[in-house]
Amino acid sequence: MVKYVAEPFKIKMVEPLKMTTREEREEKLKAANYNVFGLDSDDVYIDCLTDSGTGAMSDTQWAGMMAGDESYAGARGYRKLMKAVKDIFGYEFGQPVHQGRAAEQVLLPSYLKKGQKCVSNMHFDTTRGHVGLLGAKAIDIVVPEAKDTSTYLPFKGNMDTKRLEAYINEVGADQIGVIIMTITNNSAGGQPVSMENLRTTKAIADKHGIPMIIDAARYAENAHFIREREEGYQDKEIIDIVREMFSYAEAFTMSAKKDAIVNMGGLIGVKDSEELYIKVKGLTIPYEGFVTYGGLAGRDLEALSIGLYEGLDKDYLKYRVGQIEYLGGRLKELGVPFQYPVGGHAVFLDAKALLPHIPYYQFPGQALACELYLEAGIRACDIGSYLLDLDPETGEQLESEMEFTRLAIPRRVYTQAHFDVIAEALKNIKERASEIKGYEITWQAPVLRHFTAKLKPIE
Ligand SMILES: *Cc1c(COP(=O)(O)O)cnc(C)c1O
């Protein structure tokens, strides 16, 4: 029996959920053209579409919202946030922005020129997008085990440092604008990066004179994994682990909608370079607004300063990652295939293994997402061939290496019983897996089609 880590909080405010019948859900899904992004959230019972901006704020954060100073310049919340940046990350300068991709838009031009390469353990989609907008090329050099869904490895999100060295020697250090370490590695399923790997990657970067920065969306979950799994860190405080992690970079971008537990917000940190900080301020003003609010309301700055600390609480982190591990453990008992071990924020169901009769061009990950909604009103999303667009040159459907259905778990929102509902739904789906049909697309946009495409089941 897997054990659930009980909540280190009690509930003061609730948000009612609507219960629907199978018939109603069949109608709603059809009306949404079998695209879960087309569903009204009111018709969803357990929403695991994303963990971004979907967390529940604490009473302290809400109190901070009330105390927010809405001054255009020099707001109190800004000073509080800068103090938190210094304290938690050990960085001299901070810059609030409205979300993670805005941090990328503001910071990355200082590192990347047209024609250069940007190397990462794995770029998140928006990071890849901004690298491309600057005319540079995003190169992922994650350890090969990240693509193996069944072997246990404590730090599957790591940079493959041997291949990194080889790549630098092949293309030349002057061709690489920056190295970005994404922690945890979102695109690899929220898999953590070890301290040892950050240290080694930094040493390689230094040797070749390449700057290194961190994409910090899940910095606290990563620190939790280091504390649990890496030798020598068991007795360290989370905040000390965070400080060491960030000591290996010279700047970071952060989507605060993840581990900082706010519904909207982002942050840039600059360790000590005043020159870089001046460039950051220079781009923040036209893109995001004056430096002391950076696209956020004063109350959001308060909630963010508080959330940065709440996300570091070790009992909270035990419970948070414990929820994902509980769901993974239940699925293991039931023989439902998923990426193992689970990451910090999501369970990636292996739709290819569960629905082997559905070929990639009939989108097994999407079929499973539809089935979860029909079965129990659960919303998940495809991370597989459906997510990939058509090949721009040939117009053919691209085949993804993996066919996943992602259950991303919002922070402090769902309880053990909700996870049991998800496990039960997957048990039922597994029992009738061979009857589940694939899908075809009847309409699609030329890029990022998965948000708006229309589909229909193949009879
Ligand atoms: C969410 C995320 C981003 C982008 O942040 P937004 O707040 O969605 O703009 C960038 N990198 C990683 C690793 C993320 O998870």
381: which strand partners? 406
From 140, 183, 258, 451, the mutation candidate for ligand 1 (largest count of ligand atoms within 8 A of CB) is 258
Q: Which residues are catalytic?
A: 72, 124-125, 215, 217, 258, 450
Q: Which of 219, 289, 204 is nearest to 253 (CA)?
A: 219
Which pLDDT belongs to residue 390?
84
Say if ligand 1 is within 6 A of residue 307 CB: no
**Over 90: is that where the pLDDT of 189 sits?**
no
**Contact between residue 36 and residue 377 where contact means Cβ atoms under 8 Å apart:** no
Which residue's C-alpha comes closest to atom 14 of ligand 1? 217
Which residue's C-alpha comes closest to atom 1 of ligand 1? 255
Provide, for the chain, the percentages of residues in helix, strand and coil under a 3-state DSSP scheme, each rounded to the nearest 5: 45, 15, 40
**Over 90: is that where the pLDDT of 391 sits?**
no
Which pLDDT belongs to residue 144?
93
**Band of pLDDT at residue 409, cut at 50, 70 and 90:** very high
Say if ligand 1 is within 6 A of residue 184 CB: no
Cα–Cα distance between 173 and 119 in angstroms, integer? Answer: 11
Which pLDDT belongs to residue 46?
98
DSSP SS3 for 268:
strand
DSSP SS3 for 178:
strand
Is the N-terminal amide bond of 184 cis, ω within 30° of 0?
A: yes
Q: Can you point out the beta strands (E) in 164-287?
A: 176-182, 212-215, 251-255, 266-270
Amino acid at 259: D
Neighbours of 144 (CB within 10 A): 9
Which residue's C-alpha comes closest to atom 11 of ligand 1? 124
**Residue-wise pLDDT tens digits, 346-385:** 999 999 999 999 999 999 999 999 999 999 999 999 999 9
**Over 90: is that where the pLDDT of 304 sits?**
yes
Which pLDDT belongs to residue 149?
83
Cα–Cα distance between 157 and 185 in angstroms, integer? Answer: 5
Which pLDDT belongs to residue 150?
83
> Matching CATH topology for 22-51+314-457 and 59-310?
no
Q: How far is the CA of 215 from the centre of ligand 1 (A)?
A: 8
Which residue's C-alpha comes closest to atom 5 of ligand 1? 100
Residue with tokens 């190169």: 139
**Band of pLDDT at residue 44, cut at 50, 70 and 90:** very high
**Over 90: is that where the pLDDT of 235 sits?**
yes
Cα–Cα distance between 316 and 322 in angstroms, integer? Answer: 9
**Over 90: is that where the pLDDT of 446 sits?**
no
User: Can you give the C-alpha Rg of the chain in angstroms?
Assistant: 22
Q: Which atom of ligand 1 is nearest to the CA of 257?
A: 7
Q: What architecture is the 59-310 domain classified under in CATH?
A: 3-Layer(aba) Sandwich (3.40)
Which pLDDT belongs to residue 43?
98
Name the token pair of 199. Answer: 């240290």
DSSP SS3 for 390:
strand
Which residue's C-alpha comes closest to atom 8 of ligand 1? 100
**Residue-wise pLDDT tens digits, 411-444:** 999 999 999 999 999 999 999 999 999 999 999 9
**Residue-wise pLDDT tens digits, 126-156:** 999 999 999 999 999 999 998 888 889 999 9
Q: Reply yes or no on domain 22-51+314-457 having CATH 3.40.50.620.
A: no
**Band of pLDDT at residue 447, cut at 50, 70 and 90:** confident
Half-sphere exposure of residue 444, counting CA atoms within 13 Å on the CB side? Answer: 17
Residue 240 CA, distance from chain mean position: 23
> In the chain, what's the furthest Cα-to-Cα distance?
62
Helices (H), 157-218: 161-171, 195-207
Q: How far is the CA of 424 from the centre of ligand 1 (A)?
A: 31
Q: How far is the CA of 152 from the centre of ligand 1 (A)?
A: 26
Cα–Cα distance between 301 and 303 in angstroms, integer? Answer: 6
Could you tell me the residue ranges of all domains in the chain? 22-51+314-457, 59-310
**Contact between residue 289 and residue 72 where contact means Cβ atoms under 8 Å apart:** no
**Over 90: is that where the pLDDT of 187 sits?**
no
Kindly state the average pLDDT of the residues 59-70.
97
**Contact between residue 374 and residue 29 where contact means Cβ atoms under 8 Å apart:** yes
DSSP SS3 for 208:
coil
Which pLDDT belongs to residue 147?
83
Strand order in the sheet with 117-120: 93-97, 266-270, 251-255, 212-215, 176-182, 117-120, 137-140
Q: How far is the CA of 126 from the centre of ligand 1 (A)?
A: 7
Say if ligand 1 is within 6 A of residue 299 CB: no
Q: Which of 365, 410, 303, 439 is nearest to 41 (CA)?
A: 410
Average pLDDT, the chain: 96
Kindly state the average pLDDT of the residues 25-29.
98
Cα–Cα distance between 448 and 132 in angstroms, integer? Answer: 15
Q: How far is the CA of 124 from the centre of ligand 1 (A)?
A: 7
Name the token pair of 75. Answer: 């707001």
The secondary structure of residue 385, as a DSSP letter, is T
The burial class, CB within 10 Å (0-12 / 13-18 / 19+), for 30 is: exposed
Neighbours of 407 (CB within 10 A): 28
**Residue-wise pLDDT tens digits, 197-223:** 999 999 999 999 999 999 999 999 999
Q: Which residue has the higher pLDDT, 48 or 447?
A: 48
**Residue-wise pLDDT tens digits, 310-341:** 999 999 999 999 999 999 999 999 999 999 99
Which pLDDT belongs to residue 176?
98
**Residue-wise pLDDT tens digits, 75-126:** 999 999 999 999 999 999 999 999 999 999 999 999 999 999 999 999 998 9
Which pLDDT belongs to residue 393?
85
Cα–Cα distance between 402 and 110 in angstroms, integer? Answer: 34
